[in-house]
Structure 1
Amino acid sequence: MKKLVIFDLDGTLLNTIDDLGHATNYALEKMGYAPHPLNAYPAMVGNGVTKLLERALPAEVSTDPLQLQHTRSWFQQYYDLHSTDHSKPYDGITELLSTLAERNINMAVASNKYHDAVLQLVGHYFPTIPWVSVWGQKEGMPVKPDPSIVFGILNDCPTNKSDVLYVGDSGVDIKTARRACVESVGVTWGFRSKQELEEAYADHIVSEPHEILDYIG
């Protein structure tokens, strides 16, 4: 039986794409650049806010450190106030988390979103879930697919890797699990395709949250 389930946040637990898109468009407009349609953002997210902004900015300025710094400041100013305007848990997620808690399975969050925003979202949407560890991107820590975030969680909740299940919606998540040497479940309801999960060699792929229980043991 698995003893610890590590969840990605955006695209796995929460559908956050509209709020991410609105925050990015706000930052772009403040910088004098054209916004993108919201349906363009699923392909841009997954590697942290800085990478999202690099992808959203015009190519000629996307790698300029000063442009990125100013754009990120506008993004965070907006997102800190509006991160819960349109976001919501995917259908069946709250029930899944409650079932895992009833079975005394430890749960953690590993996100590339900046740490303060992760804490805010998890606290807002899942206040009764007894998380053993919640990690967002922290200063000086590499983003996923670097496995450092998983090792940080395992430091908070020591668990044999064979007893860990990592759940995410993107190739980044599956690569993170592989590099950390833990079993992975790719979910198809998020921001990326089933093909991406297959190409990243997900150990399992599910289309409904309750199916994750089949791999708990």
Structure 2
Amino acid sequence: MSDFPFDIVGFDLDGTLLDTSGDLAAAVNHALVLAGREPLSVQDIRSKIGGGAKNMLRLALDETGGCDEAEFRRLHKELLGFYEAHIADHSVVFDGLPDAIASLHERGVKTAIVTNKFESLAEKLMREIGLRDSFACLIGGDTMGKSFAKPHRAPIDEMIRRCGGGRTAFVGDSIYDIQAAQNAGVPAIAVSFGFVTGPVEELGADAVIDSYADLLPTLERLDQPTG
């Protein structure tokens, strides 16, 4: 057995593994233009990422005048279709991630993804980026049912189950990520380079990293008794 303090390290996707803001902004703005609205800046849309596409679109529409439920459903469908067709046009891996994942694997650690993005879209994105095979499992926002997305603990619990159990930590950039980890009783690490809208320290994570070069040393300072 490895003396590394964790057997499983889970990651959020948007704003944690990848900077997907360019593609998400393009999809939101596609829907806004169809609704006759002015497009929003990428920076403005970054602040709306984390709760899934439906929440992101709802925030953007509310900011630009709102809409009725029938129009919202139409625009949500349009957003998803556009995003699926352009899912990796602008998305990029955060610096240092591949090396950090490789170092975890060298220590016998399983890596996994828990995202509020639809599972099918997350699978497509990770495969187009070329990193899907680096993760033992991928749990999407609809995998456990829409009532059990982050910050619910259920997707974290399912990640741990699929990875065979063991000492676990979770890495993310939003309050949804940190609360999901806390609800599941596992240490949470926040990344300062993601889509967080305020001071990252206010998320209440057990630790904060400024780059993936900091991940392994930070994990080594954290520990979770096997329960």
Normalised TM-score (structure 1): 0.91
Distance 1:122 1:128 in 2: 5
Distance 1:92 1:41 in 2: 25
2:151 to 140, 145, 160: 145
SS of equivalent to 1:2 = coil
User: 1:152-163 alignment to 2 at 5 Å?
Assistant: 152-160=158-166, 163=167
1:75 to 55, 75, 79: 79
> Relative to structure 1, is the Cα distance of residues 127 and 58 closer, same or farther in structure 2, using a 3 angstrom cutoff?
closer
Distance 2:132 2:201 in 1: 33
**Which residue does the alignment assign to 2:109?**
105
Name the count of aligned residue pairs: 213
Distance 2:44 2:34 in 1: 19
Percent identical pairs in the alignment equals 28
Mean CA deviation greater in 124-133 or 80-89: 124-133
- What is the Cα deviation at residue 123 of structure 1? 1.5
SS of equivalent to 2:140 = strand
Distance 2:156 2:25 in 1: 27
CA contact (8 A) 1:26 1:78 kept: yes
User: 1:1-217 alignment to 2 at 5 Å?
Assistant: 1-58=5-62, 61-62=66-67, 64-127=68-131, 129-138=133-142, 140-142=145-147, 143-160=149-166, 163-192=167-196, 195=199, 197-217=200-220
Distance 2:188 2:22 in 1: 27
Equivalent residue letter for 1:20: L
Mean CA deviation greater in 81-90 or 50-59: 50-59
Distance 1:52 1:39 in 2: 13
- What is the Cα deviation at residue 193 of structure 1? 5.0
Unaligned runs of 5+ in 1: none
Q: Tell me the C-alpha RMSD between the 2 structures.
A: 1.7
Unaligned runs of 5+ in 2: 221-227
Equivalent residue letter for 1:30: L
Mean CA deviation greater in 51-60 or 108-117: 51-60
Mean CA deviation greater in 122-131 or 44-53: 122-131
CA contact (8 A) 1:16 1:88 kept: yes
